Amino acid sequence: MTERLFLFDTTLRDGQQTHGVQFSTPEKRKIAEALDALGVDYVEGGWPGANPTDSEFFEEAPALRATFTAFGMTKRAGRSAANDDVLAGVLNAGTPAVCLVGKTHDFHVETALGITLEENLENIRASVAHCVDEGRETLLDAEHFFDGWKANPDYALKCLLAALEAGARWIVLCDTNGGTLPREVGRIVCEVIAGGVPGDKLGIHTHDDTGNAVANTLAAVDAGARQVQGTLNGLGERCGNANLTTLIPTLLLKEPYRSRFEIGVTEEALARLTRTSRMLDDILNRVPLRTAPYVGASAFAHKAGLHASAILKDPTTYEHVEPSLVGNARIVPMSNQAGQSNLRMRLLDMGLEVEKGDPALGRILEEVKAREGQGYSYDTAQASFELVAREALGRLPHFFEVKRYRVTVERRKNKYNRMISLSEAVVVVKVGEEKMLSVSESMDETGSDRGPVNALAKALAKDLGPYQGYIDDMRLVDFKVRITQGGTEAVTRVVIDSEDSTGKRWSTVGVSPNIVDASFEALLDAINWKLVRDGAPERPA
């Protein structure tokens, strides 16, 4: 016997309250369609009339399987629901469902609204009745409900019952300032149900101000609530709303929810969850949170030596669900905690077969350990790791040698008396017996100075003689710097991502107190890795 549990998404409304987030109309449409494909039951589109984007979005409403919902607020005192222009704006959006925020905390009614408790009850009752009369599925968002209940449970309950009697399909209990803890949420939802609001008419809306938005939602479901409100990636004001990207897999994959509830998200849709989460980050131009439950890049990354070897034996030892179920993947990175079996796996992935027990395995681990002590990190810089391993295995071909380089960074007035900066790099390379000198400057096509590392990268790639054909399609696509060890003893770690015309990407690392030199090392690794990968012929020194 399963029960239906409903998912209500408010990414486009409450999610848009996030500091710095402002969706365009096409972005709203794209997100609504992704939510629909995921299988949520309600998509709340915004507040028609509150701002131009929201109004425009509702004017050309997307065709959704989900119930499209407009947000608004209960009518103001001193006028009828039919004569309230704000409410009319919401109804004019013509959505099948309407969600109205109303106050249930006596303190807010009297101080923020400045009306009597009875007037507020009447506003709720009349507004809900009006929407129902207009043929809309109506939800009441009970703002500040948990604080209201703690202050005056009788009045808070009266507000809910007023909406219910007026025909509301759902009463949504909101923890508006996010301060309520899971035990309290569970207890209060039980009390509300005992007070006469059936669980299958109750929704839960939480915020993450104590890091408990997900747990508060589950506590409400455990207590009987049957609608869950949240946002993709937990977007939302302050610390965010309940994260649907976390809740959906928990409700679908984990007990007791898996056996107990029927949810609109299919297994196929769940397998697109990671992609859906990344799509939202792309729209927001945000770096995806590595540690996000289920969908983060680190969610199934295993580092500890003990863990990594156990994972090789049986993934369930350190994974509570199979990563592919949510469209994610397992990562076993290289690090100083890794054991030999982990290392052999890694090397095999790179096409380097090494016998079990080969002493080179120990040498590689020692070398990696020593380098990590100096500030290197091979978690992401797989290409540099491969070069270290090849060196230890005696399988690193010699291609060329950099005899010297010189980079000059200058800031001075140009002929128009404006301050400009410019970098210039000279690199001297020896391939076999041939010596090559190259020079480049840091100016890009727009005349902007891109700095000394840019000049150095260009000079290094300018003339590699017989290898030129192998590196012509390489380009630097990302560049990260971090100072390991603070203070004046600072050591710089540079990680460079390169790409070639096949779309292949690889990462290399360099470390030095001198940032230019650290960058140079990473650039050199990037070229050498490409020459190895493409099977360039060796040129002994």
Residues 192-211 that bind a second copy (CB under 8 A): 208-211
CB closer to a second copy out of 129 and 284: 284
Amino acid at 130: H
- φ/ψ region of 244 (left if φ > 0, alpha if ψ in -120 to 50, else beta) reads alpha
Contacts of 371 (CB under 8 A, 6+ apart): 378, 388, 511
CB closer to a second copy out of 4 and 480: 480
Per CB under 8 A, the list member of 4, 65, 79, 183 interacting with a second copy is 183
Contact status: 176 vs a second copy (CB under 8 A): yes
The position carrying tokens 């486009």 is 12
CB closer to a second copy out of 129 and 273: 273
Give me the least distance between CB of 353 and a second copy, in Å please: 26
The DSSP result for 408-476, as a single string, is EEEEEE-TTS-EEEEEEEEEEEEETTEEEEEEEE-B-TTS-B--HHHHHHHHHHH--GGGHHHHTT-EE
Contact status: 149 vs a second copy (CB under 8 A): no
Give me the least distance between CB of 115 and a second copy, in Å please: 15
Q: How many residues bind a second copy (CB under 8 A)?
A: 137
Distance CA 154, CA 200 (A): 21
The residue among 150, 105, 107, 111 whose CA lies nearest residue 124 is 105
Amino acid at 117: L
CB closer to a second copy out of 92 and 298: 298
CB closer to a second copy out of 447 and 537: 447
Contact status: 191 vs a second copy (CB under 8 A): no
Per CB under 8 A, the list member of 50, 161, 271, 439 interacting with a second copy is 50
Per CB under 8 A, the list member of 77, 191, 288, 337 interacting with a second copy is 337
Choose one: 116-124, 198-206, 318-326, 502-510; the region binding a second copy (CB under 8 A): 318-326
Per CB under 8 A, the list member of 165, 478, 534, 538 interacting with a second copy is 478
- Per the document, the length of the chain is 541
The position carrying tokens 């959505």 is 95
Could you give the maximum distance between any two Cα atoms of the chain, in Å? 95
Helix/strand/coil percent split, the chain, to 5: 45, 20, 35
**Interface with a second copy in residues 439-458 (CB under 8 A):** 442, 448-454
Give me the least distance between CB of 3 and a second copy, in Å please: 17
Give me the least distance between CB of 537 and a second copy, in Å please: 25
Give me the least distance between CB of 4 and a second copy, in Å please: 21
Distance CA 205, CA 155 (A): 20
CB closer to a second copy out of 17 and 132: 17
CB closer to a second copy out of 5 and 536: 5
Give me the least distance between CB of 210 and a second copy, in Å please: 5
Distance CA 485, CA 491 (A): 6
Contact 318, 324 (CB under 8 A): no
3-state secondary structure of 62: coil
Contact status: 229 vs a second copy (CB under 8 A): no
Contact status: 480 vs a second copy (CB under 8 A): yes
Give me the least distance between CB of 535 and a second copy, in Å please: 28
Which helix (H) or strand (E) segment is 372 a member of? helix 359-374
Per CB under 8 A, the list member of 12, 31, 131, 516 interacting with a second copy is 516
**Interface with a second copy in residues 367-426 (CB under 8 A):** 369-370, 372-373, 375, 377, 379-380, 402-413, 421, 423
Distance CA 143, CA 16 (A): 18
Per CB under 8 A, the list member of 512, 523, 532, 539 interacting with a second copy is 512
Q: Retrieve residue 247's tokens.
A: 């809740």
